[in-house]
Amino acid sequence: MSNSLLSLAPTNSIAPNFKKFPYAHDFILNGKPQTFAQRGGRLIPSVGAEVTTRYGKGYIERRHAGGDAVIRITEFNETLEVTRHVNGGFDTAREYVARLSTQYNNRMMNSAIWFETHYSNVAHAEALMELVLDEDCYLVCAIPDYLGATDFDYGVSVKPTKKSVATAAQLAYRAKMEVLNDTDEEAPEGIADELEECFGE
């Protein structure tokens, strides 16, 4: 793991130790190897992580399964003016976030009504209405540059099974060694040790 990623690990974390834990991990915490959760090659900021947006400072209130996040602004940027594209004029940061939350809530309400009227699925309609936002919250589809977040999801690294460890190149190498074993040719010195280390044989 690069030093930049290690700097994002929780306090008291130490650098990875591939001699002690010979499989993928990003850092070690309390003696256990840990790996950052990722989506699309990007780290996932934790719920509760503090962020700074153009609308002000706040935190990630919740995340949705697809990766979207709801951000609650706790300290609005009082200098921001957002141009209204309809009817002209400007919105303050507070007004614009309230507008975004209203648009999101309208979508949730319309979806809830649709599920209730077309499928008589009241439970799903109620679940959608549970997702409505307060006027100081808005939905972010992607979190650019993590918005200054420093807390990220992670979990204990799991040692892969022997089957998942073997790459295509290793399997080809193993097959080549098996062919050598089937002939009277001797395998190069040290190969048996490598095979035992890689495949437990």
- Selected residue with higher pLDDT from 10 and 4: 10
Lowest mean pLDDT, pick from 15-24, 50-59, 118-127, 138-147: 138-147
- The backbone torsions φ and ψ at residue 53, rounded to the nearest 5 degrees and listed phi first, read -115, 175
What's the pLDDT tens digit per position in 120-166?
999 999 999 999 999 999 999 877 778 999 999 999 998 877 655 55
pLDDT of 98 reads 97
Angle made by CA atoms 63, 66, 67, in degrees to the nearest 5: 50
CB atoms within 10 A of CB 97: 26
Query: To the nearest whole number, what is the mean pLDDT of the chain?
Result: 84
- Selected residue with higher pLDDT from 70 and 201: 70
Domain ranges of the chain: 1-45+151-159, 55-142, 160-201
Residue 4 has pLDDT above 90, yes or no: no
